[in-house]
Amino acid sequence: MQKPTRTAGSSATSPPFRDEEFHALLSEMTCACARTGRHLDAPMAQALFHRVDVLNESQRSAARALGIETGDAAYLLGGLRQDLATQLALLISTPSVARS
């Protein structure tokens, strides 16, 4: 994975979200969240997440393209991000098992 970089004259770091492996992990996790069937609107949330968090489309533009209201988009995106955060926390806190 790429290391975070600092921009000239800035103390803020940019996250390594351009890394292909990270995008693949996010894609796999969003697909898994959508497949769980807990939410009927999970496929819409997944499409929204992809447009906003992967393709850097504005939330308003993504909502318009998907035919939903911006408030609904915020709700769906927040829910999926929370599910992803939970899954990521579980993934990194689970001890790896040595394979023989």
Question: 0.85 cut: is pTM over it?
Answer: no
What are the structure tokens assigned to 47, written together? 């499409």
> What would the pLDDT profile of 2-48 be if each residue is shown by its tens digit?
444 444 444 455 554 557 777 777 777 777 666 665 667 888 988 99
Banded pLDDT at 1 (limits 50, 70, 90) = very low
Q: How far is CA 5 from CA 9, 20, 37, 56, 71, in A?
A: 12, 17, 38, 19, 33
Residue-wise pLDDT for 39-78, tens only, equals 678 889 889 988 998 889 999 999 999 999 999 999 999 9
DSSP at 38: S
83 CB-near residues (< 8 Å, 6+ apart): 33
Tokens representing residue 7 in the block: 């921009």
Buried b (16+ CB within 10 A) or exposed e, 80-95: bbebbeeeeeeeeeee
Each domain of the chain, given as residue ranges in start order, spans 41-91
pLDDT of residue 63: 97
